[in-house]
Every structure is written in C-alpha cells, then in structure tokens.
Amino acid sequence: MAQTRRERLRVERAAKAKRVRRARIAGFGALVIAVVVVAALVVVLVQNNLATGQLTPPNATSDRSGISPYPGAVKAGAPVVDFFFDYQCPGCASVETYYGDTLAAAAQAGQINLRYRPLTFLDENLANDSSERAARAAACADVVGSYASYHQTIFANQPSKEGTGYTDDQLRVTFASTAGITGDALTRFQQCYDRKQTADFVAEAYSKNLPASTPRMTVNGNSFELGAAASGLIAAINAAA
C-alpha cells in the first residue's frame, strides 16, 4: 500500500513538474512572439515615417512661401522680385517664356533677389490636380538641386489646351530627364514625388501666396506691371524698387 502511495505521489510530482515546464515554455514563447511583433511594428512605423516624412525644399524662403531658384548670388540692396504663378496658367507660361531668361540672368548676377511663389487654385477651376502635382514635383526637384531647370521645363511643356494638365509620367520621368535629373538624384526625386513629401510645403505656400491671381509680380512687396520690354525689365524693376 505504501509503495502504491509513493508511486502515486511520484507520478503526481512528475505531472506537476511537466505542467510547470510547459507553462514556462509557453510563457517564453509568448514573450518571444511579443518581442517579434513589437520589433515588426517598430520597423513598419520607421519605414512609414521615412516614406511619408515631409520635406522642406532647401532653397525655400524663410516663411516657406516660395523657392529661390538662384540662391547665394544676391548682392546687397538688390530688389526682391516675387513671381506668383500657377503651373496651369497660360499667362504664367507666357511670362516665363518672355521674361524668364532675363530674370534668370539678373538673378544669377545678383542684381535681383528672385523668388518663385506657386499657387494651385486652377486645380479647382479646371477640375484636376495638375497644378498641385506640378508644384510638388518642382519642389522635389529643388530637393535634388534642379529646381530652376525643372520649373522652366514644366512651363515649356504646358499643354496648348488649358485643363489638359500634366501626367504623372511627364512629371516623374519626361520632365525630370529634360531638366537633367539622372542617377541617384532621379531616384530620390521620384521617391519624393511618389511619397508626396513636399505636399505640406506646397499647401502652405499656396495659403501664404493668396490672393489667387496670376501671373503676378511684385518688387519689394509692391505690385509691378508686367508690360516692359524684356530688354528693359531690370531697369524697370530697379526704378520700381
């Protein structure tokens, strides 16, 4: 009888020990799974943050309302020239065609402090989103150091029929190639565009550049009449300043 009781106790102790081992193993396994899940979540959050993190164009104005296409060359006392535009605005394309080279030369020589200020109000008027996408793409071009050439490329390829807009392929590939964006810079530019990493900047610039009338130019904050001959534009700007 005693042997039977001892045997029974031995079996019970063995069973209890087995249950304890199983509980420990299960607990350890749950802990490992929890650690793996947390690590995976951290990776996903980091990747999402990297994928969607907003960028400020490096040559943005201090108030994030525009971009300086030719920074670093401005001479002391040079008048500040702001060009307000919408990338779908035919009149804006005409201003860029007629005055663009003159403004660029003067800015690169430090004679004026040129700043481009994008608006996107024509998206609502034309029932598309091309103005916003083009502005985002141009801001991404500044991120990779090709803003001025990309800005010029957009206007040079503005559709003849207002409202046709720009395709993603044009903005991501064709215009980038024309503007000389290649290699690693092209990869970064396309990632910036695809992830809409300059969307906040474009929206903020739009809100600060109202009222929404284009084309519009100011000199030292005062309205400037766009009527001078291209050859006399800088003299007219200096006179207005």
Q: Tell me the mean pLDDT in the region 56-64.
A: 96
138, 154 Cβ separation under 8 angstroms = yes
pLDDT in tens, 104-132: 999 999 999 999 999 999 999 999 999 99
Count each helix (H run) and each strand (E run) in the chain, helices first.
10, 4
**Through-space distance between the first and last CA atoms of the chain, rounded to whole angstroms:** 115
Q: How many other C-beta atoms can be found within 10 angstroms of the C-beta atom of residue 65?
A: 19
Of the chain, the percentage scoring pLDDT greater than 70 comes to 79
Of the chain, the percentage scoring pLDDT greater than 90 comes to 74
Partners of residue 149 on adjacent β-strands: none
pLDDT in tens, 30-41: 544 443 333 444
- Quick one: pLDDT at residue 45? 36
Angstrom distance (rounded) from CA 69 to CA 106: 12
Handedness of CA 35, 36, 37, 41 (dihedral sign): positive
Q: Whose CA is closest to 87, among 13, 177, 152?
A: 152
96, 132 Cβ separation under 8 angstroms = no
Query: Which residues are within 8 A (CB) of 213 and not within 5 positions of it... i.e. 6 or more apart?
Result: 84
Angstrom distance (rounded) from CA 222 to CA 212: 16
Angstrom distance (rounded) from CA 141 to CA 58: 10
167, 192 Cβ separation under 8 angstroms = no
Q: Tell me the mean pLDDT in the region 19-25.
A: 66
pLDDT in tens, 151-185: 999 999 999 999 999 999 999 999 999 999 999 99
* Cα separations in angstroms, 19 against 8, 31, 173: 16, 18, 64
Q: How many other C-beta atoms can be found within 10 angstroms of the C-beta atom of residue 92?
A: 22
